[in-house]
Amino acid sequence: MSADDDTARAVPHRLDRALADVAKRLTRVTVQIRGPRGAMGSGVIWAAAGLVLTNAHVVRGPSAVVLSTGQRFTARLLARDPEADLAALSIGAGGLPAAEIGDARALRVGEMVIAVGHPLGVDGAVTTGVVHATPRIGRAACFIEADLLLLPGNSGGPLADARGRVVGINAMVAGGLALAVPEHRVARFLGALRDRMAAPA
């Protein structure tokens, strides 16, 4: 057996382990969101102080957030933007594992992406695919389009690049493609929230 054969076998093994490590990190920052009448979706811990991002269509009433550890918290709605399909929640917890945020505008067509969520009640399900189309600059309602499987319950969960950096919030499926709100649209949403909270009463 040659050294080249050993290397050829080692490379896929390292890639498998690296992908498993990324999936594990993403699972830790992905939460389950439970609403009235059994409604269920996903969310992302955006900040360690208890800030959770999800889709507006996931939050349609009083909600509870369940961490990957099983801890459950009553969520307080900070902001909701149906047009952008984004909602920000606060939970009474600190020191949480928070997502590493990437740059959606740096994505390239064909690049691998990873989605994590709770589809059909399955905790921390992971699916992978490739970028089909990137957000078009200048359009507020643009999406990341990816060729990966999303099911009911994935909405609000993270879409990440191959290094585990969150580049979007999974929102819906259209034409067989997964659509995610890009992180720069999330940043604008959070910027508007900070401005409202800082404004004098």
Which sequence positions are flagged as catalytic? 57, 85, 155
Q: What separation in angstroms does the CA of 64 have from each of 29, 155, 168?
A: 16, 15, 22
The edge-to-edge listing of strands for the beta sheet with 76-81 is 72-74, 64-66, 30-34, 40-47, 51-54, 86-90, 76-81
List, in order, residues 6 or more apart from 184 with CB less than 8 Å away: 103, 104, 105, 135
E-assigned strand segments in the chain: 30-34, 40-47, 51-54, 64-66, 72-74, 76-81, 86-90, 112-117, 125-133, 144-147, 158-161, 166-174, 177-182
List, in order, residues 6 or more apart from 193 with CB less than 8 Å away: 78, 79, 88
Spatial CA neighbour of 188 closest among 148, 135, 134: 135
* Token pair 């080249």 in the structure block, residue: 4
In whole angstroms, give the CA distance from residue 81 to residue 142. 15
